[in-house]
Amino acid sequence: MQGGLLYLYGMRTRLAYWWCQLGGWLLYGLTILFFAFVFDQKISVFQYQRLALTIVIGFIFTHVLRYLFHAFKLLPPLRKRRWIELGLVVLGISVLYSLANSSIVEWLKLYNPERKFSLERRTLYNFFNDTPIILVWSSIYYIWHYIELGQNTELDKVRLESLVKELQLKTLKSHINPHFIFNALNSIRALVDENPERARTAITELSNLLRSSMQAEKLETAPLERELNIVKDYLALEHIRFEDRLRVEYDIDEDTLDQAVPPMMLQTLVENAIKHGISKQKEGGLIKVISDFRESHHELIVQNSGKLAAEINQDGFGLSSTQHRLQLLFGDKASFSITEKENSIVEAKVILPVEGVL
């Protein structure tokens, strides 16, 4: 359904562009004729032909300009040097537009033989005469995209709110697997007689985990320290079930503890590492959580012993929602990948913008 709506929206946008492109250039031609009529200027056959040629060539070259905007990613918002690149592209198209206009006029001899100018002089004249048209076209196109950018920002907010609502329905199912809860309760029951103190601690850990899961429904981001505590409670409960088969390591840069991350995302990655890695190996394995700054971003990594299963990328809501949430919250500044490293290590990596440099 969503794909169909996006397709229809794209079709409507393209259709609107073509109508505006055609209508804009026809309006330009009619405006020239209108002012010629108002000021009682006689228009020769050559001038009609050249006006028609100017409209056709302008239509083509501004469409090429639009293609270059998209190809070189020069659409708003732009920063610093990208404005220079935009200016060079517009200038280049203006020069080519003027040269093409002059060359075709020369080739078709659409000029008064008594007032023939050299190709160089006509090109220079067309450059100063036609460049403002290209600039006006570029300005209108940019204003359109700035308006569209504002609309898309609002749509992203709506999508994010929709996703939060979806999370409210799926939190216990996807973030806290029901099987995990049952296993944890069975483990706690076994500890009641053998180790009452550990049983009480396990009940507290399970309570913290469930409470955090429910609170996550109301949050868009949370400090890494909070999410790390959730993971520690989760792994402590899983350790009751796996015992020595589960080994856990943490490599956390303390400066990253206040960085913003999507709530329950780290727990989801660790849960997948247990499900697809540790639980499928008789000898168990290692879960390692890494958090550090790399260059200008925050890198959050979950490693586990095992092989990258073919079906893990189709695991439904868990991993797919991670990518979706990152896209909605941080746009292109965040990414998610899961790969198999050497020595039978699977690595799930999340790259996040550093808070304050969003």
155 has pLDDT over 70: no
- Evaluate whether residue 166 is within a structural domain: no
Q: Which residue has the higher pLDDT, 137 or 320?
A: 137
Residue 91 lies in a domain: yes
The alpha helices in 109-176, defined as continuous H runs, are: 119-170
- State the pLDDT confidence band at 156, using cuts at 50, 70 and 90: low
Q: Is there a contact between 299 and 291 (Cβ–Cβ < 8 Å)?
A: yes
Question: In this structure, what are the phi and psi dihedrals at residue 171, rounded to the nearest 5 degrees?
Answer: -55, -55
Tell me, yes or no, whether 230 and 155 share the same domain: no
Q: Does 223 have pLDDT greater than 50?
A: yes
The reply to whether 69 falls in a domain is: yes
Spatial separation of the C-alpha atoms in residues 107 and 104, rounded to whole Å: 5
Asked if residue 206 and residue 312 are part of one domain, the reply reads: yes
Question: Do residues 217 and 307 share a domain?
Answer: yes
* CATH code for the domain in which residue 279 is found: 3.30.565.10
Rounded to the nearest integer, the mean pLDDT of the chain is 80
Domain annotation covers residue 167 = no
φ and ψ of 299, to 5 deg = -110, 120
160-166 own/partner pairs: CB under 8 Å, 24+ apart: 160/220, 160/328, 160/329, 163/321, 163/324, 163/325, 163/328, 164/217, 164/220
Q: Are residues 156 and 205 in the same domain?
A: no
The band of 56, judged by pLDDT with boundaries at 50, 70 and 90, is very high
What pLDDT score was predicted for residue 209? 73
The conformation of residue 263, written as its DSSP 8-state character, comes to: T
What mean pLDDT comes out for the span 23-39? 88
Average pLDDT on 18-33 reads 90
Same domain, 126 and 209: no
Q: What band does 3 get if pLDDT is binned at 50, 70 and 90?
A: very low
Distance CA 66, CA 60 (A): 10
Question: Which amino acid, residue 40?
Answer: D
- What interhelical angle do 196-215 and 224-242 show, nearest 10? 140
Per residue in 60-79, pLDDT (tens digit) is 999 999 999 889 888 877 77
pTM of the model: 0.49
pLDDT digits (tens, 9 = 90+) for 96-117: 988 888 888 888 877 666 666 6
- The whole-angstrom separation of Cα 245 and Cα 264 is 24
- Cα 234 from Cα 238, distance rounded (Å): 6
Average confidence (pLDDT) over 91-99:
90
With respect to residue 170, please indicate whether it lies within any of the assigned structural domains.
Answer: no
Per-residue pLDDT at 252: 93
Residue 168 falls within a domain, yes or no?
no
Residue 209 belongs to a domain: yes
Q: Is residue 152 part of a domain?
A: yes
- pLDDT at 318 (0 to 100): 56
Share of the chain above pLDDT 70, in %: 79
Q: Which residues form the domain of 294?
A: 176-353
Give helix then strand counts, H and E, for the chain: 9, 7
Number of domains in the chain: 2
Q: Span 144-148, mean pLDDT?
A: 78
Q: Are residues 154 and 187 in the same domain?
A: no
Evaluate if residue 51 carries a pLDDT over 80.
yes
pLDDT in tens, 240-295: 888 888 999 999 999 999 998 888 888 888 888 888 888 888 888 899 999 999 88
